[in-house]
Amino acid sequence: MVYFASDFHLGIDARLPSQERERQIVRWLDLISNDAETIFLVGDLFDFWFEYKSVVPRGFVRLLGKMAELKDRGINIEVFTGNHDMWMFSFFEDELGIPVHREPIIREINGVKFFIAHGDGLGPNDYGYKFIKKVFAHPISQWLFARLHPNFAFAMARYWSSKSRETAEQKDQLLGRDQEWLVEYANKKLDQMDIDYFIFGHRHIPINCLLDNGTSIYINLGDWLYYNSFASFDGRVVKIQFFENDGASPRKL
């Protein structure tokens, strides 16, 4: 089995406090480890992350320890950066042996072709964010931020993160397929390449959408702030599921 999840946003409280949500994620990882071959964690695992040369953010030891354990057991784990944790550098690769993807990837699994990305900065519009993302991704910006003391730097970053989240919360309603920009992006990609499944995070709503060609499917993974949603691939089809959240169901477009 192949599993996909995103948007844990550890470091902030939501339906559950962050530490309890982290324990819940570890329970989920324990459960799926029974049959998982690959686990894709598709961005925004943390509400903020920055790696100094010898310092990483405090906390998250349960998740990091579980990821290291599963990796050592031979389960392939791959991580994507999101807009809240784009400042991942070498820690995951050096300490855990887990690759970090900073751009979308295309992966064929059992003859099925996947396009996988967090989703931030893709699609039309949102030019302001796309500009800010380029600024934050620039090595000079990262070098300057690293000159700040972690106590001050992390406090400032968490303030930015909260403002970004407040803006996102205003948009976390299903807009309809003609206004969902990741759906539009996926449909345009199909003019250039053959993809069976587009797997995205970022949107915070679990969505299953048949695309315009009538065969390809757009999946949004939702989040663990409120949904506890993830996707599984059994070699034939992708299914959105929920962990410790009875009665939840994906949204259709």
Give CA 126 to chain center in angstroms. Answer: 19
Residue among 214, 191, 189 at smallest CA distance from 200: 189
User: Using CA atoms, how far apart are residues 241 and 248, in angstroms rounded to an integer?
Assistant: 9
> Can you give the pLDDT at residue 122?
84
pLDDT at 53: 73
**Rounded Cα gap, residues 237 and 208, in angstroms:** 12
How far is 213 from 190, CA to CA, in rounded Å? 8
Tell me the pairing of strands 38-42 and 2-5: parallel
Give the pLDDT score at 149: 62
Angle between the N-to-C axes of helices 127-137 and 139-146, in degrees from 0 to 180, rounded to the nearest 10: 60
CA 8, CA 134: separation in Å to the nearest integer?
Answer: 24
Q: Which amino acid is at 74?
A: G
Alpha helix stretches (DSSP H) within 34-124: 61-72, 91
Q: How far apart are CA 101 and CA 113, in angstroms?
A: 17
Burial class (CB in 10 A: 0-12, 13-18, 19+), 34: exposed
User: Cα separation of 103 and 95, whole Å?
Assistant: 21
Structural fold of domain 2-252: Purple Acid Phosphatase; chain A, domain 2 (3.60.21)
- Chain centre distance of CA 55: 23
Mean pLDDT by groups of 10 residues along the chain of 253 residues: 97 93 98 97 88 74 96 97 82 92 96 95 62 58 60 61 52 70 94 96 94 96 96 96 93 85
Q: Which helix (H) or strand (E) holds 78?
A: strand 76-80
Q: Where are the alpha helices (DSSP H) in the chain?
A: 18-32, 61-72, 91, 127-137, 139-146, 150-169, 181-189
pLDDT of residue 150: 67
Considering the entire predicted model, what is its pTM?
0.86
At 109, which helix (H) or strand (E)?
strand 105-109
Q: pLDDT at position 174, please?
A: 72
Angle at 86 between CA 245 and CA 6, to 5 degrees: 15
Question: Which residues partner with 108 through β-bridges?
Answer: 113
Beta bridge partners of 3: 39, 232
